Structure 1
Amino acid sequence: MSDLSIRLADLADRPTVERLWLMFRHDLSEFQGLLPGADGSFRSERLHMAFSDPDWAPYLLMSGAGPAGFAFVRGSTAPTHVLNSFFVVRGARRTGIGSRAVREVVARHPGSWEVAFQDANTGAVRFWRRAVTEIVGDAWTEERRPVPGRPDLPPDVWISFRT
């Protein structure tokens, strides 16, 4: 899948990103023990912020003419950027699209970066350690931080680095 393109998503892309969001949240539900609401949807505050807050940057990942995932950058103009949500559809995983997308998104926002994931998501653990190492070598740190307002959950793993 060498035909990856990444672009800032606009309002016309929102329905596509909303459908991808459901897949993303479904994947995460395995690690967070969450069920969808009565209407079948998952919480979507971050999705709404990505399209409404000027300090967020929602990116749509495309493989040819098909959507392959998304990346939401929080604090796009702040001193520290957070890769708040990142998703690659299962059919495009392990093809290099995810690593390429991270490199391109990070290159668009030079500076300090943070990304969080859960220890239980072993695929994410391997992916993020490898992807960040490809970008900055061993110049990154990892720490566990409590999930705000959720003492019932294990802490998130946060990787910090600078480009």
Structure 2
Amino acid sequence: MKVELQLSRMEDKFIINNIYPLYLYDLSEIWGHQTNRYGVFEEDDTRTLAEQNRVFDIWWEHPGVLFPYLIKVNDLPAGLAFVATSPYTPCPSYIDYYLNEFFLLRQYRGKGVGEQAVRQLIDKMPGHWELQTNPTNRNKRAQKFWRKTLAVCTNGDYKEELGHQQEHGEMLIFRFLR
């Protein structure tokens, strides 16, 4: 299986736009979010996926600050990874990179694709990293993934703690230097 992490360009952002609603659907199991009255996973009255996707244009408007990656397996879209730098991070100033979003389509999970993508990502962008995930029992799979993946990719040199994020409340926070 050939896993490739590709920085997405504006011309191919539609691929990430196609995958993103699947990510939100998966998150709905963890966070308990429901669709709005138009069937879109948004809290406001966003009526279409096209409207929803415009919100993410910011990821392509700030090159060198925001990094929207597409994860491919054997040249097919398999997931996404969005990396932010200051001022678009909720973290302390000593963090260089914040993994804002990470998602794999279900058929690629449990096969080492995520670990390969994370390894490629942190090898491309050395520095102080932070990522956050839901700390509840509904999110045990992601917690297990991050603990295992970071143990391998950092040789066990990462920190894990519970913290509070303004938007989501209590979060499980991982920090590491690569």
TM-score, structure 1 normalization: 0.88
Rounded Cα–Cα distance in structure 1 between residues aligned with 2:57 and 2:23: 15
C-alpha distance after superposition, 1:108-163 (max 9, x if no partner): 1100000111123111000001111111122111111223145xx5x110100001
Q: In structure 2, give the amino acid aligned to 1:65.
A: D
Contact map agreement 1:57 1:76 (CA 8 A) in 2: no
| Number of residues of Structure 1 aligned to a counterpart in Structure 2 | 159
Rounded Cα–Cα distance in structure 2 between residues aligned with 1:25 and 1:105: 22
Q: For 1:52-91, list aligned pairs within 5 A.
A: 52-54=61-63, 55-75=65-85, 79-91=95-107
Mean CA deviation greater in 60-69 or 73-82: 73-82
Q: In structure 1, give the amino acid aligned to 2:74.
A: G
Rounded Cα–Cα distance in structure 1 between residues aligned with 2:147 and 2:58: 27
After TM superposition, give the deviation of residue 66 of structure 1 in Å. 1.6
Residues 149 and 17 from structure 1, CA distance in 2 versus in 1: closer, same or farther, beyond 3 angstroms?
closer
Q: Which residue of 2 aligns with 1:158?
A: 173
SS at match of 2:165: coil
Rounded Cα–Cα distance in structure 1 between residues aligned with 2:73 and 2:156: 30
Q: Does 1:143 align with 2:161?
A: yes
After TM superposition, give the deviation of residue 39 of structure 1 in Å. 2.7
SS at match of 1:146: strand
Q: Which residue of 2 aligns with 1:97?
A: 113
Residues 76 and 134 from structure 1, CA distance in 2 versus in 1: closer, same or farther, beyond 3 angstroms?
farther
Structure 1 unaligned residues grouped into runs of 5+ = none
Structure 2 unaligned residues grouped into runs of 5+ = 43-51, 88-92
SS at match of 1:141: strand
Contact map agreement 1:146 1:156 (CA 8 A) in 2: yes
Mean CA deviation greater in 41-50 or 26-35: 41-50
Q: In structure 2, give the amino acid aligned to 1:7.
A: Q
Rounded Cα–Cα distance in structure 2 between residues aligned with 1:29 and 1:19: 17
Rounded Cα–Cα distance in structure 1 between residues aligned with 2:101 and 2:143: 14
Rounded Cα–Cα distance in structure 2 between residues aligned with 1:130 and 1:50: 28
Q: Does 1:34 align with 2:22?
A: no
TM-score, structure 2 normalization: 0.81
After TM superposition, give the deviation of residue 36 of structure 1 in Å. 2.0
Q: In structure 2, give the amino acid aligned to 1:130.
A: K
Rounded Cα–Cα distance in structure 2 between residues aligned with 1:132 and 1:23: 25
Residues 9 and 117 from structure 1, CA distance in 2 versus in 1: closer, same or farther, beyond 3 angstroms?
same
